[in-house]
Amino acid sequence: MSRHFPTIRPEGDAPLNTQPTSGPFGCHDTLRKGPTSARAEVAPKHPVEVAQAKHEAHHEKLKMSIMGAIQGPAAPQLVKLERAIYAQNQRLPSLHSSHLALDVSTGRLGVMDFDDFLNDPRDSEKMVDVHTAVEASPAFKR
């Protein structure tokens, strides 16, 4: 009985981007996207850059395939279902959810992100009327 596991090294297929980047006025927005470089837009990405970008998804796929081989095909499906439940927002619309259970489940609890040291942009000091936000949310419309 042979099992198909993902390769140890992720594939390095990076499509070339030959379309010019354009802003809302039909030209490149230098202030938001930085100066343009013809080489960066046409040349393929370095294999290490592609591997770093795909590392987390590839590692997750590898863990799920090993879990399926050891514990059976229902185990990865159960983990995916639990993570989908953890990813749902279960608070009022004006309050954001930190998704702590999702971070614990994926193992990202010890990872320092932007939100951890520079504050979450959703925690701004603007006042939001909770009643208006609940009435405007699509989950509470009749």
What are the extents of the domains in the chain?
Answer: 1-72, 87-142
Rounded alpha-carbon distances, angstroms, from residue 12 to 7, 19, 43: 12, 21, 14
Would you call 114 helix, strand, or coil by DSSP? helix
What pTM, to 2 d.p., does this model score?
A: 0.61
CA distance 105 to 86: 9
Q: Is the pLDDT of residue 9 over 70?
A: no
* Per-residue pLDDT reduced to its tens digit, 33-79: 778 777 766 778 888 888 888 998 999 999 999 999 999 999 999 99
pLDDT at residue 10 is higher than 90: no
Rounded CA separation 108/98 (Å): 12
Render pLDDT for 83-99 as a digit per residue (tens, 0 to 9): 999 998 877 777 777 88
What's residue 85's pLDDT?
94
